[in-house]
Structure 1
Amino acid sequence: MVASDELTVRLSALSLAPSALAAHPAVSNPAQWKDALGQAPGVPSSFELCKTLVFKPKTAKTATPVPVVVIARDETETSSGALGKKFNLKDLRLATDDLLKEFFSLDKDSLSPLALTKDNFSRCQVVLDSTIANASAPLALHASSSEATVFLSGKDIATYLTSLETADAKVHVVDFAALKAESEASPGGVGPVGKAAPAKKAEDAKIEGAVQIAIGVKKELDFPTWYTNVLIKAEMIDYYSVSGCYILKPWSFTIWERIQQWFDSKIKELDVENSYFPMFVSSKVLEREKDHIEGFAPEVAWVTRAGSTELEEPIAIRPTSETVMYPYYAKWIQSHRDLPLKLNQWNSVVRWEFKNPQPFLRTREFLWQEGHTAHLTRPEADKEVRDILDLYRRVYEELLAVPVIPGVKSEKEKFAGGLYTTTVEGFVPTSGRGIQGATSHCLGQNFSKMFNISVEDPNLSAADKAKLTDPEAGKAYVWQNSWGLSTRTIGVMVMVHGDNQGLVLPPRVANVQVIVVPVGVTAKTTDEMREKISNACSDVVKTLKKVGVRAKADLRDGYTPGYKFNDWEQKVRPSFYPNSFNC
């Protein structure tokens, strides 16, 4: 099927029907596209290509970019400089693949006006070529794929885009021919004269669709772009269709697994047990502790509907688990003999309301561990807070080779509803900023009083108990702690150790500690010699694995040793010794 069911439904809802649909081999430029359509069956005898360009204006590093989506005939000259001047936008540049994936979940070869939906239209600035707006001739658009094309008239395209408009987001119809004439006529215009020419020449020199293996930017000059490029090119993450959520690929997830294994073994030595609580929490329970939840209120994601039916009571997805777990602590803790209660869970939490996501550092869903413990006395609780904080320090320093400083948060920065918060703070030399690594909180008795987690005071004598007129007076509220470490650890490690060549992984958490690359294989190498070299590499790997070294042989066909060296140096920075064995 050429067009997806979802795409067909969207068009049908507006009474729009494509004049034709076509499947063809993947295309990466207009010439290939036109040639592919010329060989596809059922294509209109006369049509034009419709191009969709996405530009990113220059913004502050902390600001969320607003992509400029330009929809025009293929032959229309769409000057980014003239557009920038018209809409008062600085330095319009073609958007990176990462930005396209974040906003549209597509690559540049699959973009079309149909990539705009109710979800992303208001986050973009949409510009439509005026010659398209009233055209009735068929135009070829990518059907959300470089291998599929849908044919719509210009009027239908305009109708579709107009249906997405909101009070704050409209389609801007632009006469590009007039815009070009105005810009060339104006002083300091962007015509092909003066100082603009070299910049245009440099822009034209870029090879469309070229693949760059290197990181592409310097860490010290463009830190945010460098960070993203390292994560993508080192195959740590991939973008997901929901903004602010990311796929953790095996290269990063194995790091998290090694952190899990180490930390889990250490907390079990402290008699902490693992458990799992549901991710949903009712609004009534969540709102019981207002001082606590106010700190998370803007970030709470709510489930309000099941299918088409509205829920009687909204259900929150946990931003943290205090309000999920503590009603059951009150149920389970009936006597001082039930103390201490020490539970940990490895799970994910959702914190929604923010505008500038960063992989591993600020994401809408992230993996972490959260420990929740209850103690009879404050000294017991205080000691555990420090014990856990020291384990967090060791995660960073012993596993990730990242120096951190343990300390106590200020009153304004402490955990909402807690007594005090301790933290390990890292430092990123490139940005000159500190970064929170992990936190261990003493909650005091605030939550135990709210959720009535109490026991009969074991220090009261029988005589003292007899004198009590109020049964509540003999209660001792427990002292509680909570502590958490998340996949933020991976982001901090990347920022501290990575360089302009790529990712640098500490050996203790690297999925592959040694990579063996065969060299000396040429077109003249016989099959017998190729097999001999391959077997020698495999033997080296087996020997290393026997002594506990995580090793792998890169025996991929079709790649030169130089390519493999560069590829692996971006991921882990190993050392290669190609002459260390004789074949």
Structure 2
Amino acid sequence: MEEEVADRTAAINSEQVEPQEQSKNALKKAAKQKKLADYNANKSATNTTKEAGRAAATKATNPAPKKKMEGAALIGIDVAKEDDFSAWYAQVLTKGEMLDYYDISGCYILKPASYFIWEEVQTWFNKKIKSIGVRNCAFPLFVSQDVLEKEKAHIEGFAAEVAWVTHAGKNPLEKKIAIRPTSETVMYPYYAKWIRSHRDLPLRLNQWNSVVRWEFKHPQPFLRTREFHWQEGHTAHLTKEGAGEEVLQILEWYAGVYEELLAVPVIRGTKTEKEKFAGGLYTTTVEGYIPETGRGIQGGTSHCLGQNFSKMFGITVEDPSNREDDKKPALHVWQNSWGLSTRVIGVMVMIHSDNRGLVIPPRVVETQVIIVPVGITKNTSEDEKTKLYSEVDALATVLRAADLRVETDKRDGYSPGWKFNDWEMRGVPLRLEFGPGESKGHYVTTSRRDLPGKDGKGQIQITELGVEVPQLLETIQADLYRRADEKFKSHTKQITNWDEFVPALNAKNVCLIPSCLTEKCEDEIKDMSAKKDGEGEDAPEDAKAPSMGAKSLCIPFEQPEGIVKGETKCTNPNCGNMAEKWCLFGREFGLHLN
């Protein structure tokens, strides 16, 4: 790892509901109960939030054909992922109990199921960063106008989204106060105060907080929200090399959050000059891919800020090489900032979940195993029922002893089939079914959430439960990653001919192309790859293509062969410059840098 980080530092520096038998009357009753609960839970948001109003208006004027959803749709998801991705996403999150809408547009309530995932990310990442001396802290959420505007190039990227406090009760403030969109300008005046010597370096601080960016585009839960939760690390170093090592180490840990915890593949790379963090020296990034939309999505960013902020805020130390009589000027420190937000949850949901609801990787899900009693009928005696429930509790005890998060579903009034669909909608990775047959045979029936129908079915002997269930969960985790990785790779096209570029984008791919990496060229590529009004309406590959043009996602660290310096031309036919690197372009969820 150290050699890899060093090498990269140097390079930078120079996606069928399982059929269940149940009576129609019971199903109708359950469906009515569920719909009533959903209606009451979402009534306020449906009627008051702006995004819900816009969605309702759109559907009323342009009703889209919906795939008929069977089984679970009666109590759960009633729109297919491939038909209306945005509506599907909203239903998966709300009916899966991940979040609820708030009465302020663009703000959302993170319910325990989603916040648990965020806590798992926090625990994993905290352990990593503390191993290199990062300490957690908390700074105020308010920023004075003077301080916020001190670094013009930095704040320019956030200016239109800053939320301001102008009144205290009925009294106007003498000077309005900003709510932090990020914390560079909040923290750095105090870095100048605290860093008095090179012996105070490196200073490595991190906050787990929320920030506010008052976007006026269409909000999307977890992806584009006006308040979002994240961590933001801010560090100061004596040398550029020391700062660069940390930038790449943090980026690798961001990739680990996605790949090891969330089973989401990402590409590591550097942002172009056009797309880098405003006011920084360079930006590294992990980039993901959403198959149903064909769009790339930024996963997390780690920035080297250079000395720009230290010069602005006067963060200096004496040169440690100075001798007594030397009068070398003070050194401005080298700074980094890095951030990862609850966007990770939205990316995970979009990639893994399906038309039955959520699919959540075992390592981060709140409930890893649900045990559902089956085979209980009107002819089952109370003693038989009590005995079966006692055995179910014993199974749960065995699994908890194996350090698994387990729940049992002994709710009365619901058929096993209804329960199956309910837990599938919530994304529990593994269901264990246990009835009189299983009890007699000393086994449990298993059903994997990530595989439909018979493909996900199996059996485990009770004597092997504590070993085989953890192993099966790890298999589910690995299979989720493998399938997502295969899809990402199959939709990453290496292209050198411009005529192939836009068709590839329209076929929901991201494209690696030889690029000169200039801002002018990027602007032209974005304009030329945008779908103009009336274009492509008869072409099947364009039917659902987004209208936006492609932008640079990153310059991947892993560069394919094929570019010859001074000989390989930039893919943009209007450019005329020679290519510098392979650059990943794609249509993207319009999101700010972390």
Per the TM superposition, whether the score is higher than 0.5 is yes
Alignment deviations for residues 437-480 of structure 1 (CA, whole Å, 9 cap, x no partner): 00000000000000000011112233332xxxxxxx61100000
1:521 to partner: Cα distance:
1.6
Structure with greater proportional helix content: 2
Matched residue, 1:104: 47
1:435 to partner: Cα distance:
0.4
Verify: 1:443 aligned to 2:302, yes or no: no
1:97 to partner: Cα distance:
8.9
| Aligned 8 A contact 1:443 1:482 in 2 | yes
1:211 to partner: Cα distance:
8.9
Moved over 4 A (4+): 96-100, 122-126
Which residue of 353, 361, 369 corresponds with 1:514?
369
Q: Which has the larger radius of gyration?
A: 1
Matched residue, 1:136: none
Verify: 1:475 aligned to 2:327, yes or no: no
Q: What 5-or-longer segments of structure 2 have no aligned partner?
A: 1-38, 67-71, 443-594
Matched residue, 1:574: 430
Alignment deviations for residues 312-362 of structure 1 (CA, whole Å, 9 cap, x no partner): 111111000001000000000000010000000100111112220000000
Which residue of 363, 373, 391 corresponds with 1:536?
391
Q: 1:271 to 1:364 in 2, by over 3 A?
A: same
Q: Secondary structure at the match of 1:517?
A: strand
Write the letter of the residue equivalent to 1:429.
P
| Aligned 8 A contact 1:460 1:474 in 2 | no
Which residue of 373, 376, 385 corresponds with 2:235?
373
Which residue of 168, 176, 180 corresponds with 1:306?
168
Q: Secondary structure at the match of 2:430?
A: coil
Which residue of 175, 178, 191 corresponds with 1:329?
191
Q: 1:553 to 1:97 in 2, by over 3 A?
A: closer
Q: 1:98 to 1:287 in 2, by over 3 A?
A: farther
CA distance in 1, matches of 2:389, 2:108: 36
Alignment deviations for residues 100-121 of structure 1 (CA, whole Å, 9 cap, x no partner): 6446349xxxxxxxxxxxx99x
CA distance in 1, matches of 2:172, 2:389: 61
CA distance in 2, matches of 1:414, 1:516: 48
Verify: 1:526 aligned to 2:395, yes or no: no
1:556 to partner: Cα distance:
1.4
Q: Secondary structure at the match of 1:482?
A: strand
Matched residue, 2:206: 344
| Aligned 8 A contact 2:141 2:179 in 1 | yes
TM-score by length of 1: 0.64
CA distance in 2, matches of 1:464, 1:215: 72
1:416 to partner: Cα distance:
1.0
Write the letter of the residue equivalent to 2:47.
F
CA distance in 2, matches of 1:432, 1:124: 21
Verify: 1:358 aligned to 2:220, yes or no: yes
Task: Count residues with an aligned counterpart.
Answer: 392
Which residue of 492, 503, 507 corresponds with 2:347?
492
CA distance in 2, matches of 1:523, 1:388: 58
Q: Secondary structure at the match of 2:325?
A: helix
Alignment deviations for residues 106-164 of structure 1 (CA, whole Å, 9 cap, x no partner): 9xxxxxxxxxxxx99x98999xxxxxxxxxxxxxxxxxxxxxxxxxxxxxxxxxxxxxx
Q: Secondary structure at the match of 1:349?
A: strand
Q: Secondary structure at the match of 2:224?
A: coil
Q: Secondary structure at the match of 2:154?
A: helix
CA distance in 1, matches of 2:224, 2:157: 16
Write the letter of the residue equivalent to 1:431.
T
Matched residue, 2:521: none
Q: State the superposition RMSD in angstroms.
A: 2.9
- % identical equivalent positions: 61
Q: 1:125 to 1:227 in 2, by over 3 A?
A: closer
1:405 to partner: Cα distance:
0.3
Which residue of 273, 289, 301 corresponds with 1:411?
273
1:221 to partner: Cα distance:
1.9
1:239 to partner: Cα distance:
0.6
Write the letter of the residue equivalent to 2:372.
V
Q: Secondary structure at the match of 1:360?
A: coil
Matched residue, 1:315: 177
Write the letter of the residue equivalent to 1:269.
S
Alignment deviations for residues 521-577 of structure 1 (CA, whole Å, 9 cap, x no partner): 222322222222222111111110001111110111211111010011111242434
Q: 1:531 to 1:105 in 2, by over 3 A?
A: farther
Q: What 5-or-longer segments of structure 1 have no aligned partner?
A: 1-95, 107-118, 127-189, 191-198, 204-209, 466-472
| Aligned 8 A contact 2:286 2:301 in 1 | yes
Which residue of 245, 249, 253 corresponds with 1:383?
245
CA distance in 1, matches of 2:295, 2:73: 33
Q: 1:558 to 1:105 in 2, by over 3 A?
A: farther
Q: 1:423 to 1:334 in 2, by over 3 A?
A: same
Q: 1:99 to 1:414 in 2, by over 3 A?
A: farther
CA distance in 1, matches of 2:133, 2:106: 36
Write the letter of the residue equivalent to 2:291.
P
| Aligned 8 A contact 1:455 1:477 in 2 | yes
| Aligned 8 A contact 2:372 2:431 in 1 | no
Write the letter of the residue equivalent to 2:439.
F
Q: Secondary structure at the match of 2:181?
A: coil
Verify: 1:548 aligned to 2:403, yes or no: yes
Q: 1:451 to 1:492 in 2, by over 3 A?
A: same
Alignment deviations for residues 7-56 of structure 1 (CA, whole Å, 9 cap, x no partner): xxxxxxxxxxxxxxxxxxxxxxxxxxxxxxxxxxxxxxxxxxxxxxxxxx
Matched residue, 1:398: 260
